Structure formats: C-alpha cells, structure tokens
C-alpha cells in the first residue's frame, strides 16, 4: 500500500550532502478530511482546533485540514481512510451505522450517557477498546482516537407543532444514528444527509423536517428560515462523541512521540469542544425566539415516554440481530448501572 503522507526527499538529499544540519527534519504531513465544514461553529471548529493544537505542539507530525467533499464526501470518509486514499478523517462514528451496526454506540445513544458519563466509559472503562475492536473486526484498516464531545443537541425542526406521535407519521425527516431507528419505528421516513445538503432538501420539499445539531450550529445552516418549531430536549443525542481516524499503515509508521502528541491534542480538543458548546448556544436560542420567529418547544412527557419505550425495543432488536452490537450494548449498560450509583447520589436535582 502506498502511503499518502509526505516526507521531504529534497530535505533528505540536502542532509545527505551535508548542506543542512542533521538536527533539522521534515514533519510527516497527513491530509485530514473533516465531516464538518470550517464555517460551522463547534462542529467545524472542533476539526480546525484539533489541527491547530497538534500542529502547534508537534515537530514530528502535522495535519492539513480539508472540508467535506474536497477529498471525499462525508459518508465515504471511513472507506477512504481504510483503503489509504485519504490519510485521516475527523468525524463521528454514527455516520458508519449502515456499515457497522454498533458504530452509533460510540457516537450518540438515545436516552444514553451525557458527556461526563460517556467519557468515563470511553477513557476509563471498556469503551475505547471496544471502539477500536469494532473497526478491527469489521475489516477496516484504521486507528480511532476519541477527539471531541458535545452536550445534547436539539431533537428536531418542524414546520408545524407536533402534539402527538400521530403527527410524526408520514413525515420525511433528516435524522442521525440510532435515533433514526426510533423515528422509523414510529412511522417517520428518515434519511441521513450531510450538513450542506439539509437546507436545500428542506427548501425543495424533499424532507419535511430535520434534526442536525445544537442551536448555534443549526442557526448557521438556516433551518429557522423554513421550519419554525424547534424541539427539546435532545433525547436522541444526550451527548455526541467525535473521532480522529488514521489509516492503520500510516499510524503504525508514526513515532511514539507523534502518537502521544495526537492523543494529547485530542484530549485537549475534547475539553474545548465541550466548553464551546456549553458556553455559546443560549444566545442562538434567544435570537431564534426574539428575532427569527422560532417557537422553542418541549416534548410532552407522553411523547418522551413513547420515544424511550420505542428505543428500548429498538436496542433489544439490534442486540438480537448483531452479536457485536450486543457485546457493546451489554458493556455500556453494565457501566451505566454502576455509574448510576454515583450520579443518583452526588448531583443536585435539575430544576
């Protein structure tokens, strides 16, 4: 397999000729496709911030950022990194759910863990090990590193208020990950569209409704211009994890220093990614309500309960259909049971 990252042959020749001091060397440069455009706050800046972090601390490795479709479309990134046509990708594993049934369990779990709990499972329990195992068993030549996390998203933009589950039936809706399985079971026709494809689909009526991300991100995409009812809470994505994928052959050739620098940069990126989302979304909600004619809506307890019972059914079905999904689901469920002893006692009740 021909490696994609570049090493300066010219520099090597100069060194060999004694024209440069041996202490100088060229860093390996990896091309990185991002699932999210630079123009998107929080999601887009998570990728650019990672590149800034790693390039600022490493003399062994550098990353070059590319927006979606500059190298490959978002939904093709996993295959492209695995086959070596792209060096690396910044994405969320939920985009690979159609290829790997357990993939969304490492991205966002309906009624699942919030950011702190999710990171506990990933970094200090079995999550990271199972995440890599999924790719290895699936035949993908990639190495994954947790590299970002955000708090809950909104759970939908609709043209008309949704007063009952019956109002959902027959809608065409952009929806992500495991939450889409729930919506389908409730009579919604779902499709997974990349960020830049959603507004045009709403505009021409190809979809009736959408969810994508947090209020500030959705505002940049302009959903409020067409859909005026924004629903909360984000039951389908209580938190969302992001990953850095690197082609395995390339990763194996990196120095130990470079590998550690990637991990450190990703851990730092998790912190800033979460903080940016927590700090900056309320202003978009206020702007939507006061200036954009958007009605902020809460799902009724009855509808939320239906979403949850339907998710419970979906999880059991997926576990019965896929052995690895069951392995991951059982591990996460066991972790969450233990975590509940801590969380139910230590935190103040939410008002």
Location of each CATH 3.40.190.170 domain in the chain: 9-152+239-279
Question: Which pLDDT belongs to residue 124?
Answer: 98
pLDDT of residue 351: 77
Q: How is domain 156-237+292-319 classified at the architecture level of CATH?
A: 3-Layer(aba) Sandwich (3.40)
pLDDT at 198: 97
Contacts of 46 (CB under 8 A, 6+ apart): 36, 90, 147, 148, 242, 269, 273
Q: Topology of domain 9-152+239-279, per CATH?
A: D-Maltodextrin-Binding Protein; domain 2 (3.40.190)
Query: What is the per-residue pLDDT for 134?
Result: 98
Task: Please give the pLDDT value at position 350.
Answer: 85
8 A C-beta contact, residue 177 and residue 94: yes
* pTM exceeds cut of 0.85: yes
pLDDT at 8: 38
pLDDT number for residue 99: 97
Q: Residue 242: how many CA atoms within 13 Å on its side-chain side? A: 28
Cβ 281 vs Cβ 214: under 8 Å: yes
pLDDT of 22: 31
CATH 3.40.190.10 range(s) for the chain read 156-237+292-319
* pLDDT profile of the chain (351 residues), mean per 10: 41 39 56 97 98 96 98 97 98 97 98 98 98 98 98 97 98 98 98 96 98 98 98 98 98 97 98 98 98 98 98 98 98 98 95 77
């Amino acid at each position: 397999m021909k490696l994609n990252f570049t090493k300066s042959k010219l520099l090597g020749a100069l060194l060999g000729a004694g024209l440069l001091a041996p202490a100088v060397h060229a860093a390996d440069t990896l091309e990185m496709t991002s699932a999210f455009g630079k123009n998107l706050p929080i999601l887009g800046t998570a990728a650019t911030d990672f590149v800034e972090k790693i390039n600022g601390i490493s003399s062994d490795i550098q990353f070059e950022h590319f927006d979606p479709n500059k190298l490959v479309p978002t939904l093709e990134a996993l295959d492209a990194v695995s086959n070596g046509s792209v060096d690396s990708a910044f994405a969320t594993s939920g985009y690979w759910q159609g290829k790997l049934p357990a993939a969304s369990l490492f991205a966002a779990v309906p009624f699942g863990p919030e950011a702190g709990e999710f990171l506990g499972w990933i970094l200090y329990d079995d999550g990271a090990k199972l995440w890599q195992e999924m790719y290895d068993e699936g035949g993908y030549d990639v190495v994954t590193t947790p590299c970002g996390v955000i708090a809950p998203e909104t759970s939908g933009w609709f043209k008309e208020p949704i007063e009952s589950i019956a109002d959902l039936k027959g809608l065409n809706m952009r929806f992500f990950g495991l939450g889409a399985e729930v919506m389908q079971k409730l009579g919604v026709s779902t499709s997974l569209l990349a960020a830049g494809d959603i507004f045009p689909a709403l505009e021409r009526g190809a979809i009736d409704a959408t969810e994508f991300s947090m209020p500030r991100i959705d505002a940049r995409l302009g959903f409020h211009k067409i859909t005026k009812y924004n629903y909360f809470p984000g039951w389908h994505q209580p938190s969302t994890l992001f990953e850095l994928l690197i082609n395995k052959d390339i990763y194996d050739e990196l120095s130990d220093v470079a590998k550690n620098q990637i991990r450190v940069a990703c851990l730092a990126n998790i912190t800033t990614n979460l903080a940016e989302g927590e700090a900056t979304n309320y202003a978009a909600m206020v702007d939507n309500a006061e200036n954009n004619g958007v009605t902020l809506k809460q799902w009724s307890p009855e509808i939320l309960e239906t979403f949850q019972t339907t998710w419970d059914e979906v999880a059991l079905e997926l576990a019965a259909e896929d052995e690895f999904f069951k392995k991951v689901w059982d591990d996460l469920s066991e972790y969450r049971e233990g975590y509940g002893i801590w969380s139910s006692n230590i935190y103040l009740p939410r008002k």
